[in-house]
Structures are given as C-alpha cells and as structure tokens.
A and B are shown apart, each in its own frame.
Chain A
Amino acid sequence: MTPPLLSLRGISKSYGQIRANQAIDLDVAPQSIHAILGENGAGKSTLMKLIYGVEQPDEGTVVWNGEPLSLASPAEARRRGIGMVFQHFSLFETLTVVENIQLVVPGGKTELAGRIRTLGQDFGLEVDPLADVHALSVGERQRVEIIRCLMTDPKLLILDEPTSVLPPQAVKTLFDTLRRLRDRGVSILFISHKLEEIRTICDQATILRGGHVIGTVDPRDHDAHDLARMMIGRDMPDVMPALAMPEGEKRLEIIGMDYTPDDPFATPLSGISLTVRSGEILGIAGISGNGQGELAALISGEAMLKEQRDRIYMMGRDVGTLDAAARRRLGFAFVPEDRLGRGAVPEMSLVLNTVLTAHPFDLVRRGLINSAGATAFTSECIRQHDVRASGPDAEAGSLSGGNLQKFIVGREMMLSPKLLFVAQPTWGVDIGAASAIRRRLIALRNLGVAILVISEELEELFELSDFIQVLHHGMLSPPLVTRDTRPEDIGRYMIGAHASPEKVPA
C-alpha cells in the first residue's frame, strides 16, 4: 500500500469542558476522495480546523508526506499544500472574480485571468474571470472558491459540506470536477452528512460520532442504512407512513400574490399561488435567498401586503388585513427559520417562551400570567419532544440550536393548529431528532392538519410532502406531485430552467 498523504495519530482537542475530538486517527491516501461523515456536533468541523491550521491540537501528531507537520496558521497550511473551501464563501461581491483571486494570489490581472480559464477548462470549473461576483450563481461562486484554492497548487483540498448550497444538477458538475482533481493527483477531504452523495463519490469514509472515530470504511461496500447506523449509533427510525387522505378543505390559499419589499436587498415576489389542504403537506423547495424569508413573513402576518384584499386566505377567510396574532387565533401556528430572537426570546426562560404563542391555552388569567399552567405546558413540551435542557426555567439562549428547535417545533405542534407552517424544520438538529420531527409532522398530517414546509433539504421534502413547489427568484413553480417527481425535475426549477410541463394536480 502506498504511504498515506496525511496521517493523524491520537489527535485530541478540547474547548473547556467539551472534548470535541478525542484520539482521532485518520489516514488520507494520495489520489483519493475521503469522506468525513458525522452528525452535527460529531467533531467534523473541529477536525478540519486542526488540519487546516485554524486551531492547534492539544495532543497527537500529524504526518504530512512522511514528515511531521505542525501548522500555526491557514497561511502556512496553504504553503504546505493544504487548501480549504468553507461552507460559507468568503468572496467580495463588489469585485470581479479575478480581483478576488488577486487578493490572495500574486500576479497581474491578465495572467491570472488566463490561469483561471485554463484551470476552468481542465477541471470543469468554467467561470468568467471578469464577471462581478454578485452576478454569479451560488454554484459559480463555489467554483471561484475552488479555483482560488487550486491556484496555490494544493495536494489536499478540504471541502466543508460543499453540496448543501447546490441544486442537484450543480452537484453532478461538482462531482465531475472532484473526480478530475483526484485523477490529477489531488486528494480531497469531503465533509458531509449526506449518505448517498458519499456513496457516489468517495473512496473512503471515516465516521465520527461524539468526537471519536467509529471506523473507516469503503462507502461503496455499505448501504446508506449501514452508514447511518454507524453515524448515529443506532438504527434509523422508520419513516412514518403517510395515510391516503381524502381531499380536504383548503386551509391556506394564496392567489397571484405580488410583493415589492421596502428593503432593497430583499427578494420581490411575483405571481405566488399555492394551496394547502387539510391532511396534506406542501413542501417549498429552493435555495435560501430566493424569497423564502419574504414569503414566510407574508404568510405569518409579520409583513403585510400593500394591496391586502383577496390574496391570502386561511381557513376560508381573507386574512390580508389580519395581523400575526389574529391569524394565530384562526388556528395558524408557525415555526420560523430563525429561532433566537424570533421564535424565542433568548434572555427569557422556556416557561416565558411558551407564553409567547401558547398564551391562549389558559396561560393568562385575568391579565396575569398563569405560571403554574405555563410551567406544566413547558414540562410537557420538554418531555414529549425530548428537549435537552436543565428544566423549564432554563434560558432559551442556553439551549443548543437543535434543542431550541425541538422546543419551538414542539410548542407550535402543541397548539393543536389547523394550519402549521414550518420553515426549515430540522436545521441543526441531529438525525435522530430530525426524523422524530418529521414523524410528528406526518402524524399531524394524518390527523388532518394542513402543513406547509419550507426546506433546503430536498430529501426531507421528498420524505414529507404530498406536493412540492419550487421557489426561484421570487417565483413559485406549479405544484408537482411528489411521488411522480424526480429530484432532477425539482433541480431544473431550482436553477430557473423550466422543465417540461408536469402534471398539475386539481
């Protein structure tokens, strides 16, 4: 066997009480695509920061190309041939591609533009060097980031959740690029929690759980179910079966809604039409920033249309003039995408955060807060939804993101809504809890609740939804019947290339 390109032995890193990485052993072979697989909080990001020199390990040794390696900074890592593309890009939007690259790579504009074009042709990373970054799509920006790394001729490229921002078609292009890079001698560390992707592209997969290495396997020898079990340490819960439901009454209907926001950086919406009926789940797919936030605020009543009449109906009533509280009184419940400061007040206890939206449930008596009732409601929510907190009096801000999400989702579900709207139901939630949330959503649907879900995770929408509509540049595709639709069809709408007309349900 060839000696490994990168070899870690006994790497540990602690932050205060939290032992993020414990005795990690990892070998990355030359010319391989190596996956680091793990749930949120398994220690993937910490490990990558140690390899890229952002942080230094407390213990352990790193061997690079047969020599011991100790990195003080990412700059040193780049000099030694290690590059990294972060999940969140660091590009200046007002500059052109070549100007962005000039910031870190020495050289004149024309020379660099030439190299960008050559690299683009070699690796399938076509991008116009003279284009302004703000005009580029997310996929193109990612290419710029990768090109910027390749400029320094790395031997190892770290990609942190690279597909989370891409539509399915762009994922295919990215994978072509990665294979070409591997064949030209670059090893790739591919961080992800998406099992099918890892099985498609990776030669090796190292699985992390709770800061430990659980094992290193060839992902092509295992099915997604096996990988998931290694990742979460137990069997994946089954998907809740969706019952066949008779067509229910319309609980939410939006008819030809246009919206021009005051904020020039917000996305205008045009011609939005959708219907959610009792006993069905409608999923809204699309990459964040295509109008999801604006649509959510208009439905919840946090933002108002200028022409209020005859656009938004809930439970059969025109709610255009009703504020958020009045819409809730009709039986509407909502989980917003931001938890801290919107779905919950960070400085207040969970009990008081329950009162935020559950106050009609006898939690206010004669104008005073019924603390006994609110505490009981909160304890029930904590118990039913497995919220890990020191108790009902814990400050909301002290909970981890996933636990706070469980609390907010639980609270809104306990309001026994007629219409439930959930934006990003499982963001930052570990796999076990995410599947528990999805099971509960389907269970509510089977009970006849109308549910609207906005999500960036296509798999999630395919698991949950009866129908999917895609939001792109503030416009909504026609509804697609989920079981007759392939991810690629959704992907075409996600990038604005309209698919052949699909079956439109009545």
Chain B
Amino acid sequence: MSVWAATFLPALVRREHASLVAAMLAPAAALGMAIILNLGLYVLIGRDPAAVLYAMLLEPFLSWASFAEVLLKAGPLLLIAQGLAIGFRAKVFNIGAEGQFILGAIFASAIPVWFPQATGQWIWPLMLLLGAVGGALWASITAFWRVRLNANEILVSLMLSLVAAQVLNYLLLGPWKDPAGFNFPQSVMFQSDAVMPTLIAGTRVNVSLLITLALSLVAWVFMQRSFMGYKLKVGGLAPRAAGYAGFSEGRAIWLSLLIGGLVAGLAGAAEVAGPLGQLQRSISTGYGYAAIIVAYLGGLHPIGIIFSALFMAVLYIGGDNAMVSANLPIAAVRVFQGSLLLAYLVAVAFVRYRIEWRRPYHRSQP
C-alpha cells in the first residue's frame, strides 16, 4: 500500500492549534531566507554581496530625500494591498489590481485631458473619486463573470489587466496623445490644480499618503470589528459555515472585488495626480502585482501590511540604488520580490502544519 512510500519521508502534519510563535516568526524567517538566497545569487553572478546589501537595504534610510521616495513608493503599494487583503481573506483572488490601477489612472486623467483650462481645488479630489470609480468598474467585470458564470476570478482579472494595458496604449497613441508632445505616447501635462498638494516640502510626498493611512485605519476597523468583514472572513475560512449562516457568497465576491478595484483605482489616480502629473505608459510598473506580495507578507492584516508595504518600497528604491552602485541587473528586484513571496509561503505553512519524520512501521489494512 501507499504507506510504504511515506516511510522515512517527512510528512506535513496539521497542528491542533495555529502556532502563534510560527505566525510571528514567519515574516522575519521569510525575509532572512530571501536575503540569504539572493546574496547567494549575487555571488554567483559576480557581484559584491556586501555592497548590494548596503545599497539595497540601508541606503534608502540614509538620506531624507531617499526616504521620502520610499514613502512615495509605499503609498500605492499600501493602498492596493489593503484592498486585496480583504478579498484574499474572503478567498476571492483578485490578481488584476494592475488593470484596475491603470483604469483608475485613465478615469482620473479624463478631467485634465478634456478640461485642461479648468481651475479650482475641486479638480484633484474629483480625479481621485473618478479613479476609484474606474477601478471598481473594471473589477466589476470580473465579479460579474465570477458570480454569473462561475468564471475563475484569478484568470479573468489577470487577463483584464492585459486588456487595460492595451486600452492605455490606445489612448496614449491615439485620442489622448499630447499634440505638443513630439509624438511621445503620453498625455498633456496636467494643470497645477489637477495635482495633489505636497505634504512635505522639498519632497514629492503628497496628501495621498494621509488618505492611504486613513484608509488603512478603515481597513482595520472593517476587517477586525465590522460584521461585514466578519462575514467575508467566515466565507474564506469555512464556506459551508457561511452557507449555513446564510451569508451570500455572491455578495462576498462582489464586495471583495469592488473594494479591491476601488482602492487600486484610487492608487492609480493618485499616481497621475501626484508624482507623474500626466498619463503615461510608465504608470504600469507592476504595483498591482507587487501589492499581492505586500498583502501576504503583511499576513493579510491591516497593520502588518503597513510594514510590508514600507519594506517593499525600500526594496524598490534600494534596488534602483543597487543597479547604479553595485551594477545589479534590472531583474534583480523582481527576483528578490518573487523569492520573498516564495519564502513567505513556505514559512507560513508552518503556522498550521509541522513536519513529522515518519518512522517505518508495518501497518497494512486488510
């Protein structure tokens, strides 16, 4: 019988209780594993690991200017990850935040593109609002197919991201191209009222950071205290218990995707109404995908996500540094991100499971 195959092999045995120690250690252990793995890679490709480590993980903290860039980078990651984490806890896997982010940027840009002469402090708040609506609309396509036809939301949302990128291309190469832009695929530069006020003088950090932190607080209340968040968690942990209590699965899917799309769209709007000041192709830099890692690395917990978003932003800024100072290839940051997620998933398995080395025995059922 198959029992023999398991002889001498390690087996994952479910713990009776989730291990609190393992849960606390998992992010740190994952970080440690990922650093060791990547340092090994740097040695293999002939770079100085100490220099890379310094440039990647320390330099971002060593000057106010670079730390401000970290904060700027952390904003969209944090915002998107908070929304995604809510869905992930309901086991609704929205992998298409990138597309929702792009649609948010497009919707927000509509005002300055169509009304470049408009003035007034109402412009940028309206742009943020429109961005959120755009992201939510894009996500609602996925929700609709999932609820109506049971189409897998992972595939639909992911593929819709590719569609979103093409919509962006079309606009920037066609109707929305800046007539005075030397044929570059970008919109006009936005008027100053279409850009959010700066928060910290001398840096690019703007008021969206405050909005993001406030929404993190809202996410915390929603997931830890509200009945609606509770229903989503029940649906994620025990779908049959949700059915038994009469919590609608369809509503949970709609809610999860709409929240995810809303904040991703908001983040996209904050990019064009913030550091970019125009709609360009480079808005899509993979925030929507990196936020998935941020969400999981933060344990899908609103507070944990604040730290993981900061860390991921450090990695972005530090990776740029290391490309210059330690001659690291451009893919290195992606590799680090990927290995970090992998290491985390391995580490988090030990929260609910432990390894047991099966000793040989002679059990055979008649």
Chain A residues within an 8 Å CB radius of B227 = 355, 359, 364, 367-369
Tell me the bound Cα distance from A352 to B223 in angstroms. 13
Within 8 A of A (CB), among B236-265: 237-238, 240-241, 243-248
Task: Give the contact stretch, choosing among B90-98, B127-135, B357-365.
Answer: B357-365
Contact: B244 with A343, CB < 8 Å?
A: yes
Chain A residues within an 8 Å CB radius of B361 = 73
Contact: B366 with A90, CB < 8 Å?
A: yes
Contacts A72-B362, A343-B241: A398 and B16 contacting too (C-beta < 8 A)? yes
Tell me the bound Cα distance from A334 to B240 in angstroms. 14
From B228, B240, B362, residue with most partner A Cβ within 10 Å: B240
Chain B residue at minimum C-beta to C-beta distance from A344:
B241
Contact: A325 with B247, CB < 8 Å?
A: yes
- State how many angstroms separate the Cβ of B11 from the closest Cβ of chain A: 18
Q: Does B269 contact A (CB under 8 A)?
A: no
Q: Does A130 contact B (CB under 8 A)?
A: no
- State how many angstroms separate the Cβ of B104 from the closest Cβ of chain A: 26
Chain A residues within an 8 Å CB radius of B238 = 341-342, 344-347
Chain B residues within an 8 Å CB radius of A301 = 246
Q: Does A36 contact B (CB under 8 A)?
A: no
Binary interface encoding of chain B residues 220-242 relative to chain A, with 1 for a CB under 8 A from any of its CBs, else 0: 01000111101001100110110
Chain B residues within an 8 Å CB radius of A367 = 226-228
- State how many angstroms separate the Cβ of B232 from the closest Cβ of chain A: 12
Tell me the bound Cα distance from A148 to B365 in angstroms. 12
Tell me the bound Cα distance from A506 to B26 in angstroms. 65
Chain B residues within an 8 Å CB radius of A369 = 225-227, 230
Within 8 A of A (CB), among B137-180: none
Chain B residue at minimum C-beta to C-beta distance from A72:
B362
- State how many angstroms separate the Cβ of A247 from the closest Cβ of chain B: 31
Chain B residues within an 8 Å CB radius of A72 = 362
Contacts A342-B240, A342-B241: A74 and B363 contacting too (C-beta < 8 A)? yes
From A75, A300, A342, A343, residue with most partner B Cβ within 10 Å: A342
Contact: A356 with B225, CB < 8 Å?
A: no
- State how many angstroms separate the Cβ of B315 from the closest Cβ of chain A: 31
Tell me the bound Cα distance from A148 to B228 in angstroms. 55
- State how many angstroms separate the Cβ of A50 from the closest Cβ of chain B: 14
Q: Does B18 contact A (CB under 8 A)?
A: yes
- State how many angstroms separate the Cβ of B352 from the closest Cβ of chain A: 9
Chain A residue at minimum C-beta to C-beta distance from B225:
A368
Contacts A342-B240, A368-B225: A74 and B246 contacting too (C-beta < 8 A)? no
Chain B residues within an 8 Å CB radius of A336 = 244
Contact: B237 with A148, CB < 8 Å?
A: no
Tell me the bound Cα distance from A328 to B246 in angstroms. 8
Chain A residues within an 8 Å CB radius of B225 = 368-369
Contact: B366 with A78, CB < 8 Å?
A: yes
Contact: B245 with A356, CB < 8 Å?
A: yes
Chain A residues within an 8 Å CB radius of B17 = 395, 397-398
For this complex, 20 residue pairs linking A to B, each with C-beta atoms less than 8 Å apart, are A54-B363, A73-B364, A74-B363, A74-B364, A74-B365, A74-B366, A75-B364, A149-B366, A302-B244, A324-B244, A325-B245, A325-B247, A325-B248, A342-B244, A344-B238, A344-B241, A356-B241, A368-B226, A369-B225, A369-B227
For the complex with contacts A73-B364, A369-B225, 6 further pairs of A-B residues with Cβ separation under 8 Å are A75-B362, A90-B366, A347-B18, A355-B227, A356-B234, A368-B227
